[in-house]
């Protein structure tokens, strides 16, 4: 018999575990991890490019508004100045443009809040034939683009004497946002239990007293959401004022910005940028103030619908 002394035992090669399958013998990462890292950096590069593309117009507006010799290109001003803003308020009628826009947007907001509050409460608390079809019809109206109805809207405004009037444009701007506002308010009133109103009735309150003193404060975030939607919609509206307002003393700032672009052969880029900044600020301030109310209102509205 042959002796087995002095022989080394057979060594079996163990297969790599799944945890170390992507790692080489020298401790470096294998191809799968490298591909994942490259994909992540590629995603970051795409997001950075999209962010830069989105920020570029705002950068141009801010820099050009403070440039004494602004051009169409994004660049740091050689001479920083606020003369463009002075020109907006002194020579370009900026005060009148902002005042008109605040009248239109503020008036439309008030009308919208009153109308949608009453309609939302009625749709939430009363059952009547055709209620569901009526609400779906409101959504259908919202889907129709304003360009498809601008001609009949102009004819109606002409027949009713609403052209070149503050109240006429306020009513029309408010009506454009009514469908969405009604749905939001109806959803919030649905979240308020009817038992709360019934308890108020038992204590001697009338239906109107219970609605305004009990239900409406609980649906306050919905009122804030409707107000924000109404203000933003009226402030940003361009087509309707362009068609219905021809009086230069009553045009809003959105039309003034457009006419500053097309009025002259040689565009004053600094003045145009300054007017754009003035156009942005009121809507931005209104949104910042109402942001917390908007977040609460959207959450409550979704829960109620």
Model confidence pLDDT, tens digit, residues 145-189: 888 889 999 999 999 999 999 999 999 999 999 988 998 889 888
Instruction: Please identify, among 56, 74, 96, the residue that sits at the C-terminal boundary of a domain.
Output: 56
Query: Strand pairing partners for 23?
Result: 29
- Do 155 and 252 lie in a common domain? yes
Is residue 61 domain-resident?
A: no
CATH number of the domain to which 267 belongs: 1.10.3720.10
- Domain containing 46 equals 2-56
Query: Strand pairing partners for 29?
Result: 23
Q: State the pLDDT at residue 30.
A: 54
Instruction: Please identify, among 15, 38, 56, the residue that sits at the C-terminal boundary of a domain.
Output: 56
Q: What is the mean pLDDT of each run of 10 residues along the chain (305 residues)?
A: 46 48 50 75 89 88 89 86 88 85 94 93 88 86 85 92 93 91 89 87 86 85 86 92 91 86 72 89 83 60 45
Per the structure, the count of domains in the chain is 2
d(CA 171, CA 298): 25
- Do 189 and 93 lie in a common domain? yes
Q: Report residue 23: phi and psi, to 5°.
A: -120, 135
Q: State the pLDDT at residue 157.
A: 92
Model confidence pLDDT, tens digit, residues 201-239: 888 888 888 888 888 888 888 888 888 888 999 999 999
Is residue 68 domain-resident?
A: no
Is residue 77 domain-resident?
A: no
Is residue 256 domain-resident?
A: yes
- Do 109 and 191 lie in a common domain? yes
Is residue 298 domain-resident?
A: yes
- Do 182 and 49 lie in a common domain? no
d(CA 224, CA 159): 34
pTM of the model: 0.77
Q: State the pLDDT at residue 132.
A: 86
- Do 110 and 29 lie in a common domain? no
């Amino acid at each position: 018999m042959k002796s087995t002394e002095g022989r080394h035992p057979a060594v079996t090669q163990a297969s790599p575990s799944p945890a170390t399958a992507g790692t080489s013998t020298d401790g470096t990462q294998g191809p799968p991890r490298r591909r994942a890292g490259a994909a992540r950096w590629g995603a970051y590069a795409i997001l950075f490019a999209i962010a830069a593309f989105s920020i570029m117009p705002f950068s141009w507006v801010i820099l050009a508004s403070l440039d004494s010799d602004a051009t169409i290109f994004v660049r740091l001003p050689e001479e920083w100045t606020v003369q463009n803003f002075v020109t907006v308020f002194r020579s370009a009628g900026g005060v009148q443009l902002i005042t008109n826009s605040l009248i239109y947007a503020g008036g439309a907001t008030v009308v919208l809040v009153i109308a949608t509050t009453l309609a939302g409460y009625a749709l939430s608390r009363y059952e009547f034939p055709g209620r569901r079809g009526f609400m779906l019809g409101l959504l259908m109206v919202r889907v129709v683009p304003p360009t498809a109805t601008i001609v009949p809207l102009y004819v109606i405004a002409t027949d009713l004497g609403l052209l070149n009037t503050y109240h006429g444009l306020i009513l029309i701007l408010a009506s454009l946002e009514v469908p969405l506002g009604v749905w939001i308010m109806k959803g919030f009133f649905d979240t308020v239990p009817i038992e709360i109103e019934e308890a108020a009735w038992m204590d001697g309150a009338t239906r109107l007293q219970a609605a305004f003193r009990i239900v409406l404060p609980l649906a306050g975030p919905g009122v804030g959401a409707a107000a924000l939607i109404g203000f933003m919609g009226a402030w940003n509206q361009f087509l309707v004022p362009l068609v219905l307002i021809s009086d230069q003393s009553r045009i809003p700032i959105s039309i003034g910005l457009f006419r500053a672009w097309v009025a002259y052969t040689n565009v004053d880029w600094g003045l145009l940028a300054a007017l754009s900044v003035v156009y942005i600020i009121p809507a931005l301030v209104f949104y910042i103030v109402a942001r917390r109310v908007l977040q609460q209102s959207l959450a409550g509205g979704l829960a109620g619908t």
